[in-house]
Each structure stands twice: as C-alpha cells, then as structure tokens.
C-alpha cells in the first residue's frame, strides 16, 4: 500500500505503520457534525492524513449507549482511537496528531524553546478561554462571577482578554512566529466561532491573525471563516 503513496506522504506513512505487515493502520475519529469535533477536521487536512482517519459520525443518542461508552466513558465527542490508544479532549487529540506527524511541522520539537508557548496556547484555549465561553453561554450573573473569580480558571475577564490580545498583537504572523502550528488552528477556530456567536467581543487585535488564518486552504468553506472580513 505504501508504494502507491506520493513521496511527500512517505514520512508520515511510515509512522502510521504499526504492524509487521507494512499496512497502514487507520485511526478512527468519533465525532458528530454539530460538535467541536469539527475543529479537528481542518487539522487532518493540514497534516495530509485525511486518508488515514476514518470519520465515525455518531448521534448524541448513540454516545450514551454501551458500545460508545466502552470507548469513551465521558459520552462525549470528539474521541480519537489509534489502535489501542484512545484520546479524548480536543487539544489532546490535536497535540497527539501534531506529535505523531511531527515531520509535518505543526508542533515545535521537544527540545525547541517554542514548545512552552505552544503548550501554553493549547491549554489556555481549552482551559480559561473555554471555561469563560461556557459560563457566558449559561448567562451566569456578573456579580456571581466576580465573587467566585479566584476559583475560576479564567479569573478575571479583563485579564483573560488582555492575555489574548497581547498574544494576538505579537503574532507574526502566527502565534509562535513564521510557522503555523496546531495552536494557531485551534485558536483561530475557537475565536471565529466565539465571535460569530458573540460569546466574546470582536477584537480588532484578532483581525490580522484571523485574516492570515483565513487564507489557509484547510479553513476554506467553513461558514464562520467565510463570513469573517
Ligand atoms: N472537554 C471536551 C468537551 C467535548 C464536548 O463537550 N462535546 C460535546 C459536543 S461539542 C458532546 O459530545 N456532547 C454530548 C453529550 O454531552 O451528550 C473536549 O474539549 O473535547
């Protein structure tokens, strides 16, 4: 099977081989078209591994049934299965794939000083930023948030946004410099989504970064990016 691959696919095809037969072992991405599993899809394109990942769209009803609970007891999507390895949580899936296909250059290497900032962004998006958006979505009263802010992951709205604006202002053109990483794709998707649904304000500071991201082939055809100017 590897013989039929293009030469630029060979490096990651070798990584995908995990048995002695030389056959490429497919991964499975359990997702739903209305879920945040969609964040992973452009990244599969960027890594050029769409043909190595079987998309399994499951309904919200199926997620709570025994067959899927045996894979992910959280009853949530997305979930990536790579042989016996099961990975849940969007940034964990993204980081796993970026490392597995490290030759594609979407994650700084373990000894690259940029690795720290890369991890910081992945965890910032999944932690404080997502927590903030969830809380806003639930219409939690501002005075309750204020009284609990020391225990909240995002803490204070102004500081959460200051951190984000500072990072976006320093992007040149990507968060870590000239190379686009998995963190850029994750942040861009979240920002465009959150701004479209007015879960966060429309930041001027985000414009150059999002315009840059919008040019990427993997993000073409996604409604929120298409609508972004
Ligand atoms: N912390 C998880 C959250 C996953 C999540 O909330 N997925 C939703 C769809 S966006 C889900 O599967 N909901 C199904 C349910 O709760 O029944 C992640 O970031 O991957």
CATH number, position 154: 1.20.1050
What span, in angstroms and rounded, lies between the C-alpha atoms of 104 and 121? 19
Closest atom, ligand 1, to C-alpha of 37: 10
Q: Is the pLDDT of residue 7 over 80?
A: no
69 falls within a domain:
yes
Q: Are residues 122 and 89 in the same domain?
A: no
Ligand 1 close to Cβ of residue 60 (< 6 A): yes
Tell me what the mean pLDDT of segment 172-182 comes to.
Answer: 97
- Residue of 94, 100, 123 lying closest to 181 (CA atoms): 94
The string of DSSP letters for 69-98 reads HTT-TT--S-EEEETTEEEESHHHHHHHHH
- Whether residue 26 is contained in a domain is answered as yes
Per-residue pLDDT at 21: 58
Average pLDDT over all residues of the chain = 90
**Using alpha carbons only, how large is the chain's radius of gyration in Å?**
19
Q: With respect to residue 109, please indicate whether it lies within any of the assigned structural domains.
A: no
pLDDT given for residue 224 in this prediction: 87
User: Domain of 170?
Assistant: 115-227
User: Is the pLDDT score of 9 beyond 50?
Assistant: no
Q: Do 136 and 159 share a domain, yes or no? A: yes
Which has the closest alpha carbon to 94: 155, 141, 29?
Answer: 29
Q: Which CATH number fits the domain that encloses residue 89?
A: 3.40.30.10
182 and 127 inside one domain: yes
C-alpha torsion sign, points 32, 38, 42, 48: negative
Q: How confident is the model at residue 130 (pLDDT cuts 50, 70, 90)?
A: very high
Residue at which a domain ends, from 104, 135, 152: 104
**Residue 99 sits in the same domain as residue 119:** no
Distances (CA, A) of 171 to 32, 53, 160: 32, 31, 17
Note whether residue 136 is domain-resident.
Answer: yes
My answer on whether 150 and 51 are in the same domain is no
**179 three-state secondary structure:** coil
**Relative orientation angle of helices 115-124 and 157-170, to the nearest 10 degrees:** 140
Ligand 1 atom with the smallest distance to the CA of 78 is: 20
Ligand 1 centroid – CA 56 distance (Å): 15
Last residue of a domain, one of 70, 104, 138: 104
Residue minimizing CA distance to atom 9 of ligand 1: 35
Q: Which atom of ligand 1 is nearest to the CA of 89?
A: 20
CA 87 to chain centre: 13
Same domain flag for 154 and 82 = no
Average pLDDT over residues 167-195: 96
Lowest-confidence segment of 15-19, 164-168, 205-209, 225-229 by average pLDDT: 15-19
Mutate to test the pocket of ligand 1, among 39, 56, 77 (most ligand atoms within 8 A of CB): 77
User: pLDDT: is 31 or 13 the higher one?
Assistant: 31
Position 57 in a domain: yes
> Quick one: average pLDDT of 132-158?
93
Asked if the model's pLDDT at residue 174 lies above 90, the reply is: yes
As a whole number, mean pLDDT of residues 95-116 equals: 98
Mark 99-115 as b/e (b = at least 16 C-beta within 10 Å).
ebbbebebbbeeeeebe
pLDDT at residue 96 above 70? Answer: yes
Q: How many residues does the chain have?
A: 229
89 lines ligand 1 (CB under 6 A): yes
Candidate from 95-99, 145-149, 195-199 with smallest mean pLDDT: 195-199
Tokens of 176: 């870590």
- Predicted confidence at residue 199, as pLDDT, reads 87
Alpha carbon nearest to ligand 1 atom 18, residue? 89
- Looking at the fold, whether 151 and 89 belong to one and the same domain comes out as no
For residue 221, being part of any structural domain is answered with yes
Query: Of 104, 138, 159, which residue is a domain's last?
Result: 104
- 82/142 same-domain check: no
The DSSP string of 139-150 is: T--HHHHHHHGG
Q: Distance between the two ends of the chain, CA-based, in angstroms?
A: 43
Q: Is the pLDDT of residue 121 over 50?
A: yes
Does position 217 have pLDDT exceeding 70, yes or no? Answer: yes
Q: For atom 2 of ligand 1, which residue has the closest CA? A: 89
Tell whether 31 and 86 lie within a shared domain. Answer: yes
Lowest-pLDDT range, 101-105, 177-181, 200-204, 214-218?
200-204
pTM: predicted TM-score of the whole model, two decimal places: 0.89
Q: Is residue 110 part of a domain?
A: no
92 in the same domain as 64: yes
Nearest of 66, 26, 73 to residue 49 by alpha carbon: 26
Q: Is the separation of the CB atoms in 136 and 199 below 8 Å?
A: yes
Q: How many domains does the chain have?
A: 2
pLDDT bracket for residue 22 (50, 70, 90): low
Q: Pairing relation of β-strands 27-31 and 53-57?
A: parallel
Ligand 1 atom showing the smallest separation from residue 74 Cα: 16
Please state the atom number of ligand 1 nearest to the C-alpha of residue 90.
20
Q: Would the CB of 75 count as within 6 Å of ligand 1?
A: yes
Q: Percent of the chain scored above 90 by pLDDT?
A: 82
**Residues 25 and 96 grouped into a single domain:** yes
pLDDT at 156 > cutoff 80: yes
Say if residue 44 is in the same domain as residue 131. Answer: no
In a domain, 170, yes or no: yes
CA of 33 to the centre of ligand 1 (A): 12
């Amino acid at each position: 099977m590897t013989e039929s691959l293009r030469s630029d696919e060979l490096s990651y095809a070798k990584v995908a081989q995990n048995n002695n037969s030389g056959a490429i072992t497919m991964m499975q991405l359990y997702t739903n078209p209305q879920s945040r599993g969609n964040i992973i899809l452009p990244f599969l394109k960027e890594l050029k591994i769409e043909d190595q990942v079987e998309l399994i769209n499951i309904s919200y009803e199926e997620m709570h049934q025994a067959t899927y609970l045996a894979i992910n007891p959280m009853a949530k999507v997305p979930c990536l299965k790579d042989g016996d390895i099961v990975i849940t949580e969007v940034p964990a899936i993204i980081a796993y794939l970026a490392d597995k296909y490290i030759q594609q250059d979407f994650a700084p290497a373990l000894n690259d000083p940029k690795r720290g900032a890369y991890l910081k962004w992945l965890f910032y998006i999944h932690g404080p930023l997502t927590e903030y958006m969830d809380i806003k979505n639930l219409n939690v009263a501002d005075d309750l948030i204020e009284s609990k802010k020391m225990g909240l992951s995002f803490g204070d709205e102004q500081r959460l946004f200051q951190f984000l604006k500072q990072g976006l202002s320093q992007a040149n053109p990507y968060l870590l410099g000239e190379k686009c990483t998995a963190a850029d794709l994750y942040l861009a998707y979240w920002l465009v989504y959150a701004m479209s649904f007015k879960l966060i304000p429309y930041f001027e500071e985000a414009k150059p970064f999002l315009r840059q991201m919008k040019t990427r082939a993997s993000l073409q055809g996604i409604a929120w990016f298409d609508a972004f100017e």
